[in-house]
Amino acid sequence: ETGVTQTPRHLVMGMTNKKSLKCEQHLGHNAMYWYKQSAKKPLELMFVYNFKEQTENNSVPSRFSPECPNSSHLFLHLHTLQPEDSALYLCASSQPGQSSYEQYFGPGTRLTVT
């Protein structure tokens, strides 16, 4: 595997379900990100992790719970979501510092909340 991978690619869940999104990067980076991409809206940064520590939470509702067990893996745990949470969730990685802006994205997980 190369680059940034995300699983699953598609997910349909009910509002009472609990599910998790997984991201893995094979680039040796130490920073990882979750973004939300909704139709007709700019990408929204959700969380940032540097060296496994959360350094940014962009006022994300608590029904989204990130986890970063090591620099290569990032999870987004989902519970009691709302239909407006349906979106493409993108994971990205980078090196910290100036290179942090050169972010490498995974293909995303298309989430539908019913």
Partner 1 sequence: AQSVTQPDIHITVSEGASLELRCNYSYGATPYLFWYVQSPGQGLQLLLKYFSGDTLVQGIKGFEAEFKRSQSSFNLRKPSVHWSDAAEYFCAVGEVGFQKLVFGTGTRLLVSP
Interface positions with partner 1 (CB under 8 A): 4, 31, 40-43, 45, 48, 50, 55-56, 90, 92, 96, 98, 100-108
What residue type is assigned to position 73 of the chain? H
State which H helix or E strand residue 91 sits in.
strand 87-94
Q: Which two tokens stand for residue 87?
A: 């979106």
User: Which residue, 8 or 14, has its beta carbon nearer to partner 1?
Assistant: 8
* Mode of pairing for the β-strands spanning 4-7 and 53-57: unpaired
Q: Compute the least distance from the CB of residue 82 to partner 1, in Å.
A: 22
* Mode of pairing for the β-strands spanning 64-70 and 53-57: unpaired
Q: Compute the least distance from the CB of residue 81 to partner 1, in Å.
A: 22
Q: Compute the least distance from the CB of residue 55 to partner 1, in Å.
A: 7
